[in-house]
Structures are given as C-alpha cells and as structure tokens.
Chain A
Amino acid sequence: MADTVVDVNEISRSFGAKMALDRVTFRATEGKVHGLVGANGAGKTTLIKHLLGLLRAQSGSVRVFGRDPVRDPVGVLGRVGYLSEERELPEWMRVDELLRYTQAFHPTWDASYARELLETFALDPSKKIKELSKGMRAQAGLIAAVAHRPALLILDEPSSGLDVVVRRDILDAIVRTVADDGRTVIFSSHLLEEVERMSDHVTLMHHGRVTLSGALDEVRRGYQRSRVRFVEHFDQRPVLETALVMEGGGRTWSVVHSGSLEQFHHSVLALGGEVVESRDATLEEIFLARAGRGRQQVEVA
C-alpha cells in the first residue's frame, strides 16, 4: 500500500458569500500522478493554496507529509516544488539569480539537474526575468520548481497559454519526477487530453465540490459512449434512464451514459431502438457529462 502524501479531509472555505470549497476530501498517494480537472472557478487553485499553507481551512483538516502546512510551512514547503499559472517570479532578478535564490531554501538542490534543464531549454542565465517571453518564464519557473527534486511537485495550470514545445517540457518534468525516484505529482489542467495521458488518479471539481475522484481507469469504467438507432423518428431527445448527454437527431443519437451496459440496452430497447456500438467514454466526455455544460462553453473556459 502506497503512503498517503496529501490528506485533505472535508475542508470548506468561503470568500464572502461564495462557497469556494464545500467539504472537499482529497488524497494523493506516493509515486502517482494526480490530475485535478474542472472549469475555471471550480476550486482547483483554492484547494492547491490550502496544500501550500497559503490559505487556512475554515473547517476540516489539511495534512501534507503528515504536517499542517499552515503551522509548519518550513517542514512542508521545503519538500514541495510549485509552479503556478501566474508564475509569480521576481521581475528584477536574472535567471541565474533566481535559481541561486531558490537553491538557498533547498539543501537538496541538484545543480547538475538545473544546468541540464537550462541547456535543454536554451535559457540564457544572464537574462532578467522581465525580459523573458511567457514560455521562457514558465521554463525558468519549472527549473526552480523541480531542481531540488521535491518529494511533491504541485503544478497549477502549468500549460495554460503556452505553446506545444514548453507544454512538452512540463510533461517531461512530470514524467521524470515520477520515473526517476517515485515521487508524487499533483497538477491541475483544463487540457483533458493531457490529464488523461499523464494521470494515475483524477479528481473532478465542480462549483467547489469534488464530483468524481479515483483511479483513472475506475473513473472511466463507469461511463460509456454509445451510438443508438431508433425505428421511430425523435424530434426531441428521447428519455433514456442512464443517459447523461445526448447528441444527434431523428433516428440516430450519440449518448454518454453511466451504469451497466445491459441496463442501457434495456432502456433503448424499450423505446424501440438498438445500440449500434459502445465504447468507454473519454475523460472529456465524462467531464462534460458531469459538469453539465455545453461543449463550446467548456472549450472556451
């Protein structure tokens, strides 16, 4: 049984009247990649800020390596690497100064790993942060987050607004964190393909709540996408028991549904139709079904 690195129990947090986190429970186990998905404003960043001790839970408990990150920030943050979408880096520093500064906080700093990444990214160490492009900033922030070989790497929307090359650099850093010595990663992303490829466990948040959480395969096993054909022509969506999302029209519909395939077959048969084909739903299809929003809205978010 793998060790629990992060143990969040029933935490709630509100900002004014807005419930940002509503009894959220979340666990991260050692050596696994944990993907956090949800639309903007779902609570992912607020949850991550609790893990870093930047916010105190109003109720419930947060433990990282068995410690409370608010009471023992040194004990927690010394073992955590963190990169956020905002990449809050000191503008006036040079890249090499940023790395020396970060190194001072981390006795485990691996200078040769930092050098290797600088060369791979072709970053000029003498450049000031404010002179860097968005992608270069992300690369500099990434080196600062991983070069001390943290036991826990936390990435908050790391790929947001970046080109393919830098996104691949970030994915490579995740792979190396896990493959080299079985360390743990938590990353949030709205790029569901990325989450599906990189995650061992996935947690879906919606309006401050965890709506789905588990091993990626277990989460996916509960949902199918089927094509169904009816004898009759339906002007409006036919009502099928376990259907979550239906697209199509007339006699042919494409349906994302939960529950057993047999049960679904029965409900289709009852309306005089047949299931033409079924396959496991993709994470994106499950996400859309559970978040209950239209396709276009989510892609924009």
Chain B
Amino acid sequence: MDITISVADGVPIYKQIINQIKYLAASGALAPGEELPPIRTLALQLKVTPNTIVRAYDELEASGVIQKKRGSGSFVSEVRHSRLADAERQRIIEHRVDALLAEAHQLNFTADDVLRVIRERRAVMERRSSAMTEK
C-alpha cells in the first residue's frame, strides 16, 4: 500500500495514515473488499509504532471506511464505499475552496466577487472547449 509519512508538517501520523487510506479508497486505488496490510506489516513498512496503525484502523472502522473480520484482517468496505467516495470528494473540494476564499480575502474579494469570477471563467472555458471540438 502506497503511504508516505512526513513528520515535518505537524499532522499526527495516525491522521496522515487515515487520510491517505481514505484517499486511496476514494480514488479506487484500494478496491472495495480489498484487504489492508496487517498491523505489523504496515508498522514495519512505515517505521512507526504498531499502536499508531491500530488507532488509524480503529478510526477507519468507526467511520465505515474499513471492516474488520474476526480471525482475519481488515478490508475496505463494500457497502458504504459510494458514500465514502462522496464524503471524500466533498472534503477535497472544500479544502480547495477554503484555500481560494482565504486567498480572495487577502486580495479584498468578497465571496460574491469570487462566485462571479467562477462563472466568468467557466464561460471562458466552455467557449474554448467548444471552439476546440469545432476544429
């Protein structure tokens, strides 16, 4: 499983693991029903205390992203996958919008100004793409 940990950015390691597994599941890199690596394996791979993996898996299970099966491992949830993907898509776009609004505020744009610019830009992009398809 492709996960990278950085201690330089101040985000707790268990949260980095949660976020990346959510992202892998939302993007389809982890398929529904796919088995996650055992705690020991992932701890050895990432060089983190096993209790951090336990905590990340526990929280992922509580939020329905993964399911633990008794006597075997942890698996990406099948049932709630689409809901997870929606929540994850929402989270990603909110993150981008927050950054945009912060930047706009610094430059003295109101939220309405931003909406106006978004509509203008969409119109420009639509004109461009229709011009390209006509060629």
Give A residues with C-beta under 8 Å from B: 31-33, 168, 171-172, 174-176, 178-180, 193, 196-200, 217, 220, 225, 279-283
Contact = CB atoms under 8 A, between A and B. Distances in A.
A175 B12 contact: no
Given A174-B49, A198-B49, A220-B12, 16 more contacts: A32-B49, A172-B44, A175-B40, A175-B47, A175-B48, A175-B50, A176-B40, A179-B43, A179-B44, A180-B40, A197-B48, A198-B47, A200-B51, A279-B10, A280-B11, A281-B10
A171 B47 contact: yes
Interface string B35-49: 000011001101111
A279 B5 CA distance: 16
Contact of B12 (A180, A198, A280): A280
Contacts of A282: 7-10
B13 interface: yes
Contacts of B8: 282
Interface of B: 5, 7-13, 39-40, 43-44, 46-52
A206 to B, nearest CB: 21
Contact of B51 (A33, A171, A172, A196): A33
Nearest to A182: B50
Given A280-B10, A282-B10, A179 B50 contact: yes
A196 B7 contact: yes
B61 to A, nearest CB: 18
Given A178-B50, A200-B51, A279 B11 contact: yes
B10 A225 contact: yes
Nearest to A274: B106
B63 to A, nearest CB: 18
A279 B49 contact: no
Nearest to A178: B50
5 contacts: A32-B49, A32-B51, A175-B40, A279-B11, A282-B9
A193 B48 CA distance: 10
B12 A197 contact: no
A244 to B, nearest CB: 15
Contacts of A178: 49-51
Contacts of B49: 32-33, 174-175, 178, 197-200
B67 to A, nearest CB: 21
B109 to A, nearest CB: 17
Contacts of A32: 49, 51
Nearest to B47: A171
Nearest to B43: A175
A287 B44 CA distance: 26
B14 to A, nearest CB: 8
B31 to A, nearest CB: 26
**Looking at B5, B9, B10, which has the most chain A CB atoms within 10 Å of its CB?**
B10
A163 to B, nearest CB: 15
Given A31-B51, A178-B49, A197 B13 contact: yes
Contacts of B44: 172, 175-176, 179
A282 B11 CA distance: 8
Contacts of B9: 279, 282
A32 B39 CA distance: 15
A101 B46 CA distance: 34
A232 B9 CA distance: 29
